[in-house]
Structure 1
Amino acid sequence: MAPSSELPADYYLSNFHALVDFVVARYEALLSDDERQFYRQFRALATDSQRLYVRLLSRKGVPSSAGALFRQHKLAYGEISDLPAAVEELVISGLLQRNPSLALDEILPLFTKHELLASSPEPLAKTLKRPAVEQALLAQQAAPIQDALTVDEPLLAVQAAAHFETFKLLFFGNLNQDLTDYVLRDLGLFRYERYPLEREQLPFKSRAQIEQHLRYYDCLAEAEGALAADAAAINALAAQLPVGIDGDRTLHRRLDRLRLTLARQLERFEALDDADALYRLCSRPPARERRARIALARGEAAAALALCAEILANPLNEAERAFARNFGHRTAKKTGDGDTWPPPRRHKPPTDTIALPPNGARVELLAAEHLARPPDDHCFYVENTLFNGVLGLAIWDILFAPVPGAFFNPFQVAPSDFRTPDFYPQRSAAFEGRLAELARGNLSRWVWQHFHEKHGIANPLVAWEALPESLLTLALERIPTQHWLALFRRLLGDISHHRNGLPDLIRFPAAGSYELVEVKGPGDRLQQNQQRWLAYFATHQIPHRVLHVEWATP
């Protein structure tokens, strides 16, 4: 699709229609009576009224007990031919409330400081800051001030916004996204893969499931205040979290993430018992790590070591395993049991140092230019794009397969569980089948097929601009199949963590083969995820080295 710089003036209304129609077509049986009524009311409105409602629903407004507030005189939209008539129809339908009964403190944020000063029965100094002006007005009689501000000035409060929240949840699967995704599509900035969205594949199966997701987002909105307050507020919020729905991995992941955040703050408040209890409800890292640290802080070294042993017997990811080895060894040394916990072995990668003159370019690009010896040696700056990209091309059809619960709407760059521990297990049979096929020498076929068929379509693993055909050709020719398979297995094992930390450069010497090069400029050090990748390369005989760059003096 060729990018377009122009959209129809009411593009947002078409997008809103697509969203609510999609939800009703697939989830009508799960909607409440009020939500179905909201949909029918909106669809029955004249076009101008629909435009105005969507405009106001999409704007922030001033929060109030009656809904998001707007001043009618401040509204101006070129595509709405008769705004007062649109307002009137929305008021009659109940989707707007005109001049709701509100306390003065809810109205003041709608007006400028100049307007507030003019509304005061008692003269106020113009030098006062806005908060001081508001406090002075609130200390006076509210009625005259309110009358002065709102005379001939209708205030509008948006109604039924909570119903649209349910529609957004059912469409996006979360309350963080908005209609911007449509705009990116319409502008041609994103092209999305096509995948089935039939009812049997959709994530939400019951009203109770919807209510629990909405409750989670209510708690998430309250979390900032609780985290800034004290342990009692955090515990009160934790007690309000939904219990979860069997089979709803998305909700369980979100609850785990919030519980981990709450528990970590409880630690900082030194409420260790409460933190430990909350961590016990979490099934994902770093819950066991934090419990081990709490146990040691309590002087319970044996309990801390038992948790480390539990992790090592069944690690959920490499970072958790590395923690258990390191923390277990240090803890055992303190207790005199160091012999039972040997120190972790650390891989020392091959390392070279070169001196290059700085010229303002990135150090990785300078190193790549140094390592490429034209015309026969080639060196590309790839960092995390090459191996992720080839994997994305090799498994494209599996990535976008219609796994139940993976896709909420037509505008997803990735399945909803892509960055989670569930990603591989949910598709393990398909992945194992594909890896076995690749082992028989079919990698190039799958890569080039998807490269040409899918070029330009969004994929979370593929950065198209970083995969020129010249690079792909050399990589597929030079890198042995067993190396590709080893790389793919580690990536798929924990794609959220392992798709980062890969070496900066790949070098193709004239003599053949290839080499991965991690570049470190002056003062730069290897990160832990980079160290783990380098150790993995050593285990699988994948050629690699670290290249330290020093600046050459004139």
Structure 2
Amino acid sequence: MAEPVELAPDYYLSNFHALVEFVVTRYDALLSDEERSFHQCFCALDTDSQRLYVRLLSRKGVPSSFGALFRQSKLAYQEINNLPQAAETLVTTGLFLRNPAPDLTEILPLFTKTELLASSAEPLPKTLKRPALEQALLAQDHDALRARLTLDEPLLAVQAAAHFETFKLLFFGNLNQDLTDYVLRDLGLFRYENYPLEQSQLPFKSRSQVERYLHYYACLAQAEQVLSEDAQAITTLAAELPENAQGDTTLQRRLDRLRLALARQLERLQALEAANTLYHQCQRPPARERRARIAATQGDTDAALAVCAQILGQPENAQEREFAASFGHRTAKKTPHCDNWPAPKRYRAPTHTVTLVQTDERVEVRAAQYLADTAAGNQCFYVENTLINGVLGLAIWDIVFAPIPGAFFNPFQVAPSDFRSADFYPQRQAAFTQRLGELQETGLGKWVWHHYREKRGIANPLVHWDGLSEPLLELALSQIPTGHWLALFRRLLNDIAHHRSGFPDLILFPTGGGYELVEIKGPGDRLQQNQQRWLAYFAQHRIPHQVLHVEWGTL
């Protein structure tokens, strides 16, 4: 990993320029006239003014109807040589608004608690918490209070922030990230793969698509407040969500997540019909599960069983299939005319119990020591989810970062944008099929060691470098049969978002050869569902495994 470096005082300005120039170079045709004017206006500023604008654009400020508010006297940045002149320039160009007239509720947060106490028309206890203090002041005469709070300094409101939101969306593909990603790279804390970002591969193709994303994020910003209100407010917001007529899979995933959250709250409010309507609009789990539960709650067991049968006919993932089998069986048992729904089978893994002396070490570490000591030459590693995921990540590294249209928005992605979605495997199916066939013929060593040495330290969603030592890799590649690796890889790739967790804690390499995956359970600990699913899969493919229960004892 690269050595950390000291950043220049105005590193943020260089990063801002890099972001907007990336967008202008690739997406100029999608920008509005106002967004292009914003870019041109900013580029024409002197360096001090650019620094001050980006500083305040990146800060939270006090939200108001005029933009984020700041008191000029509270601003101090060593790298800005003449801050008052920079502020004046920004006011002249329209990027700052000087001394707007915000509502009193927007003014109070600009002042310290000491200042607010001094502004009161009557003495207030110093022990008042800030929210109570502001409420007490708002109960006083507003005109008089505003007069007492009159600033002897400029009040600045940042303008054109919405234009930069568009630039951020086009660069990051979302409005959850910010310029921090640049900082992490520049500090040497993250290294990103150098994947291609050609025009033809970029995800945004039209201005209408950009508008739909901006509309979605505007709705998302309202969701937190709306979810604390009544059912009418939730259904009103749901009705305002953008259409996705063009079949944008990334936007659909985001709309599904928001609809699921809104529908789940409607369920809690007992607005079941409204919730069911939203679930019908969702294409992803657990929408069908919730529909089945609502039908059963309403006493329509036939409808509930029909949804379960639909899921079993074409499940999205193992969790959905498991739900349908279990819930369908329980529902059918309560339905007099439906007695042919089989009970789901539950696999019971080989299980052993051992008593160990408790120390300050984790139970998995103590168990690994125990297993290593059971025979001379045994080697046991605490790997959990790092080994099998990591070997897969190394074996398919180039496919993960292949230039699939819409997969990469910018240079700072640990993974393609669809990595955790149901679209990840189908989009690359031909490449995965070819690679698994090649691994079957030649073994894993070629691809794994090539990427291990060439990509060391670069971020990959499957590879946790600290958990992949060379001795561990050498043992794993030599003692785990290729057929077992391929069986593990196929299940992982089938649903990478859900299947990359739940692996056993330890891998044991006995002195006589071979290997065994060992799940450790301490006192009171139980198998989780994703762990149970992997154990059942191991049994199906003859992959050696056991569950080891650890009890604490004394010498």
Q: Does 1:517 align with 2:506?
A: no
Check whether the contact 1:519–1:548 (CA below 8 A) recurs between aligned residues. Answer: yes
> When the two structures are superposed, what TM-score results if normalisation uses the length of structure 2?
0.97
Q: Which residue of 2 aligns with 1:225?
A: 225
- TM-superposed deviation, 1:552: 1.4
Amino acid at match of 2:423: D
CA distance in 1, matches of 2:376, 2:539: 30
Q: Which residue of 2 aligns with 1:146?
A: 146
CA distance in 1, matches of 2:32, 2:115: 42
| Superposed CA offset, 1:425-472 (max 9, x none) | 111111111111111123110000100111111000000110000010
Q: Which residue of 2 aligns with 1:43?
A: 43
Q: Which residue of 2 aligns with 1:259?
A: 259
Q: 1:100 to 1:514 in 2, by over 3 A?
A: same
CA distance in 2, matches of 1:350, 1:200: 52
Q: Which residue of 1 aligns with 2:365?
A: 365
Check whether the contact 1:305–1:332 (CA below 8 A) recurs between aligned residues. Answer: yes
CA distance in 1, matches of 2:293, 2:43: 56
Match runs of 1:226-305 below 5 Å:
226-305=226-305
Check whether the contact 1:329–1:338 (CA below 8 A) recurs between aligned residues. Answer: no
Q: Which residue of 1 aligns with 2:313?
A: 313
CA distance in 2, matches of 1:133, 1:524: 48
Q: Which residue of 2 aligns with 1:341?
A: 341
Greater Cα shift, 136-145 or 338-347? 136-145
Paired residue secondary structure (2:352): strand
CA distance in 1, matches of 2:128, 2:504: 58
Match runs of 1:101-500 below 5 Å:
101-121=101-121, 124=124, 126=126, 128-336=128-336, 339-373=339-373, 376-500=377-501
- TM-superposed deviation, 1:116: 2.1
Q: 1:484 to 1:84 in 2, by over 3 A?
A: same
CA distance in 1, matches of 2:354, 2:53: 63
Q: Does 1:70 align with 2:86?
A: no
Check whether the contact 2:263–2:275 (CA below 8 A) recurs between aligned residues. Answer: yes
- TM-superposed deviation, 1:173: 0.5
CA distance in 2, matches of 1:279, 1:387: 35
CA distance in 2, matches of 1:442, 1:499: 22
Check whether the contact 2:503–2:531 (CA below 8 A) recurs between aligned residues. Answer: yes
- TM-superposed deviation, 1:224: 1.4
- TM-superposed deviation, 1:121: 4.7
CA distance in 2, matches of 1:481, 1:317: 25
- TM-superposed deviation, 1:125: 5.3
Unaligned runs of 5+ in 1: none
Paired residue secondary structure (1:50): helix
Paired residue secondary structure (2:34): helix
CA distance in 2, matches of 1:45, 1:155: 21
Greater Cα shift, 206-215 or 334-343? 334-343
Q: How many residue pairs were aligned?
A: 554
- TM-superposed deviation, 1:138: 3.1
| Superposed CA offset, 1:159-202 (max 9, x none) | 01111111111101111111111111011111110111111100
Name the % identity: 71
Tell me how large the CA RMSD over aligned residues is: 1.4
Paired residue secondary structure (2:311): helix
Amino acid at match of 1:531: Q
Match runs of 1:501-512 below 5 Å:
501-512=502-513
| Superposed CA offset, 1:103-157 (max 9, x none) | 2221111012221233345555555554444334434443443343233221100
Amino acid at match of 1:240: E
CA distance in 2, matches of 1:133, 1:5: 44
Paired residue secondary structure (2:443): helix
| Superposed CA offset, 1:329-380 (max 9, x none) | 1111111356411111111100110011011100001011111137521111
CA distance in 2, matches of 1:476, 1:151: 70
Check whether the contact 2:445–2:477 (CA below 8 A) recurs between aligned residues. Answer: yes
Check whether the contact 1:491–1:498 (CA below 8 A) recurs between aligned residues. Answer: yes
CA distance in 1, matches of 2:90, 2:148: 26
CA distance in 2, matches of 1:475, 1:490: 19
Amino acid at match of 1:440: E
Check whether the contact 1:441–1:481 (CA below 8 A) recurs between aligned residues. Answer: no
Amino acid at match of 2:460: N
CA distance in 1, matches of 2:185, 2:128: 48
